Amino acid sequence: MKTAILSVGTELLFGQIVNTNAVFLSKELNNMGFDVMYHHTVGDNPGRLASMITSTIEDVDMILVTGGLGPTQDDLTKEVACNVFEDELIINEKILDQISEYFVRTGRNMTENNAKQALVPSRATVFHNDAGTAPGFALEKDGKYIICMPGPPREMTHMFEISVKPFLEKMSDGFMRYKLLRLYGIGESLLETKLLDIIDGQTDPTVATYAKEGECQLRIASKRSSAEEADKAVQDMVDVISERVGEYIFSYDNEELVDVVGRMLLEKKLTIASAESCTGGLFAAALTDIPGISQTFKAGFVTYSNEAKVRELGVNEETLAKYGAVSEETAKEMVEGLAKVTGCDVCVSVTGIAGPGGGTEEKPVGLVYIGFKYGDKCFVTKKLGAGASRKWIRNHTLLGILDIVRRNI
């Protein structure tokens, strides 16, 4: 069943709020087997809203609308939907009583314009709003549907789960399941090359590659007659892909790399410490965003200057003089000194040139050395992010540190 999502609200067009409703509904509809063909956004203008509904319903079987159901004069979604679907608005006494009870329960006075929210199309299936006052509804004409829900995300998601989803399940012609795999250490072009025969020959499941800053993503999706069949089809394809590029996959469930690493450290009960120069504490900050990480993360040093490297980590002044702060030798002494100072199971260090200035022909902007120590394992990895911005270099370096930890613990 082809569907479209229509978001109503001038504030969305002004960029004053982020449209999380469309993201939520797309995920839910796809999982239920509905094909989402369009996302549209229109302001609080009845003419443009009517035009958008009229043109969109020509190409889809159903439109899900969020927003414009409130009590104010610019809330005109149901009036417009009612006109396009050739119905009339009537007072629903049950809804009016529920709105009145809501105001009594919350200790507020109900103004006259709130009664407007009890007006609903005469042919509609009405959805009560347990989280607010504006009801939603589904309206059908000539086998086409429009489903209208309130705009506030808390109200919309609650109404969808309680009322709209059960309504839609009766119309679903299949079940969609998907997994989002996330990979680090391989570019999108190489990833596609390794999976080219699968991508070229795909029918169901479908496989698509996406590039994200510093990583790649693979979306594997299947639509089948039952949820069990769709789940199996997706998992079978995941197994095939894992055999080819499994070393790069850090999550099979759309997790952030830092969360994967944090969970591994906690599960293995390993303590960790960091010594950062060019990243300025990004690694420590990322880890400490994880609840409960204090059980494993014990210390984070930002040794930005040479003096700090010597004083805090015991880096040899002769090493700095001979090889420079950005060198394999300095990164190694940093991580070894960190291990001595903290006694942690896992230690990481990083030093580099984030730019935009400070680079030379021998040591260009983007040159980074990452030190790692865990038990008897101690090494330094060199990375180069030439031509990138300072922010990109720092963020990519953070991912590099995390991936080294992931692969070696």
Q: According to the model, what pLDDT value does residue 218 have? A: 95
Among 231, 189, 230, 234, which residue's Cα sits nearest to residue 210?
A: 189
Q: According to the model, what pLDDT value does residue 243 have? A: 96
For residue range 266-296, list pLDDT tens digits in order.
999 999 999 999 999 999 999 999 999 999 9
Give me the amino acid identity at 332: K
- pLDDT bin (cut points 50, 70, 90) of residue 390 is very high
What is the dihedral angle through the alpha carbons of 122, 124, 128, 129, rounded to the nearest 10 degrees? -100
Q: According to the model, what pLDDT value does residue 86 have? A: 96
Q: CB of 181 within 8 A of CB of 218?
A: yes
- pLDDT bin (cut points 50, 70, 90) of residue 66 is very high
For every residue of 372-390, DSSP letters joined together read: EEETTEEEEEEEE-TT--H
Structure tokens at 78: 């149901």
Q: According to the model, what pLDDT value does residue 56 have? A: 97
Among 262, 335, 261, 258, which residue's Cα sits nearest to residue 303?
A: 335
Partners of 177 in the β-ladder: 222
Mean residue pLDDT of the chain comes to 93
Q: According to the model, what pLDDT value does residue 107 have? A: 80
For residue range 8-61, list pLDDT tens digits in order.
999 999 999 999 999 999 989 988 888 899 999 999 999 999 999 999 999 999
> Of residues 38 and 226, which shows the higher confidence score?
38
> Of residues 95 and 5, which shows the higher confidence score?
5
For range 82-91, the mean pLDDT:
95
Output DSSP code: residue 163.
Answer: I
Question: Residue 214 pLDDT > 90, yes or no?
Answer: no
Residue labelled with tokens 């903290």 = 342
How far apart CA 397 and CA 383 sit, in angstroms, is 8
Number of alpha carbons in the 13 Å side-chain half-sphere of residue 267: 8
CA distances from 253 to 181, 222, 409 (A): 6, 16, 20
Cβ neighbors of 242 (< 8 A, separation 6 or more) are 249
- pLDDT bin (cut points 50, 70, 90) of residue 213 is confident
- pLDDT bin (cut points 50, 70, 90) of residue 6 is very high
Q: CB of 88 within 8 A of CB of 131?
A: no
Q: CB of 378 within 8 A of CB of 372?
A: yes
In sequence order, what E strands does 190-314 have?
Answer: 206-212, 215-224, 249-251, 272-276, 297-302
- pLDDT bin (cut points 50, 70, 90) of residue 244 is very high
What is the dihedral angle through the alpha carbons of 107, 108, 109, 112, rounded to the nearest 10 degrees? -130
What is the value of pTM for the model shown?
0.76
Among 360, 361, 363, 338, which residue's Cα sits nearest to residue 348?
A: 338
For residue range 99-130, list pLDDT tens digits in order.
888 787 778 877 777 778 889 999 999 999 88
Q: According to the model, what pLDDT value does residue 154 have? A: 95
Structure tokens at 175: 């079940």
Q: According to the model, what pLDDT value does residue 226 have? A: 87
Q: According to the model, what pLDDT value does residue 144 have? A: 97
How far apart CA 347 and CA 326 sit, in angstroms, is 18
Give me the amino acid identity at 171: M
Q: According to the model, what pLDDT value does residue 75 have? A: 77
Helix axes 257-268, 390-408, angle to 10 degrees: 30
How far apart CA 378 and CA 130 sit, in angstroms, is 58
Terminal Cα-to-Cα distance of the chain (whole angstroms) = 47
* β-sheet with 206-212: strand ranges across: 206-212, 215-224, 175-183, 249-251
Q: According to the model, what pLDDT value does residue 331 have? A: 98
Q: What is the largest CA-CA distance in the chain?
A: 86
Question: Residue 62 pLDDT > 80, yes or no?
Answer: yes
Partners of 346 in the β-ladder: 272, 374
